[in-house]
Amino acid sequence: MTEQSVIFFDIDGTLLDHNKELPATAKEAIFQLKENGHVVAIATGRAPFMYADLREELGIHSYVSYNGQYVVLEGEVIYTNPLNKSSLLNFTEKALHNNHPVVYMDHEDMRANVPEHPYINESIASLKINQFPTHDPYYYQDRALYQTLLFCAEGEEKQYEREFKDFDFVRWHPVSVDVVPKGGSKAIGIKKMVEKLGIPRDRQYAFGDGLNDLEMLSSIENSVAMGNAEEVIKLAAKYVTHPVDDDGIYHGLKMAGLL
């Protein structure tokens, strides 16, 4: 019998192509991994509600969301790392003063502190998801939030970076920035999961393509960069596979000896 391994997959640019579609060969490969007794998990910057359909389609119940801030193993929450509430309140006040909208995000939903804004419309539409933030300026109260989106032009986030040392600011769109707890990463979320699973390092695998995958690919022994990844990502990985839209997942799993 094949020894059990765990394989983590990023979503955008890794499982999903640039049209946000899942290649047929990737889906078939994941079903084959599961049939062979391996643990298949997702590691993404997305919120859990942004890829519920994908998890259902692939039958995946273990995932690292918000770049490591919310970790679920077989349907059970095993680790959370929410934003500091007092810092978030001060951050919100500054953003309001600067006319920079924010969207608050927990594990179930996202709500905007303004009724409407073109930057919100533009950036969220680019994700091609079914959800859109509704208006609730007090959504940050009485709940744990794992990420906030700040909407501003490139460079304008620098003032927040200087002032709010509890947060990391990661631009993902020309008009939007992820605000996450300082030092959080996919690698930390993955570490929490593999500790529970008890699967050794030599049977841990990860696939990714973006800058938020860099620490994950550097820390996982059997890491695979997609062919569409930037050069710095490829240099961090053990293997480099084909691009996502050229059967990259399938070929990467073959290279790693899992198929």
Q: Which residues are catalytic?
A: 10
Q: State the CB neighbour count (10 A cutoff) for residue 211.
A: 14
Measured distance CA(5)–CA(259) in Å, rounded: 12
What backbone phi and psi angles, to 5 degrees, belong to 25? -70, -30
| Structural contact between residues 110 and 131, judged by C-beta atoms closer than 8 angstroms | yes
Q: Which residues pair with 98 in a beta bridge?
A: none
CA neighbor of 164 nearest in space, from 181, 178, 147:
181
Backbone angles phi, psi at 206, to 5 degrees: -150, 140
Answer for the pair 228, 208: CB distance below 8 angstroms, yes or no: no
At residue 65, the 3 state secondary structure works out as: strand
Residues 6+ apart with CB under 8 A from 237: 208, 217, 223, 224, 225, 229
Residue 253 has phi, psi (to 5 degrees) of -65, -35
Q: What is the DSSP string of 12-61?
A: BTTTB-TTS---HHHHHHHHHHHHTT-EEEEE-SS-GGGSHHHHHHHT--
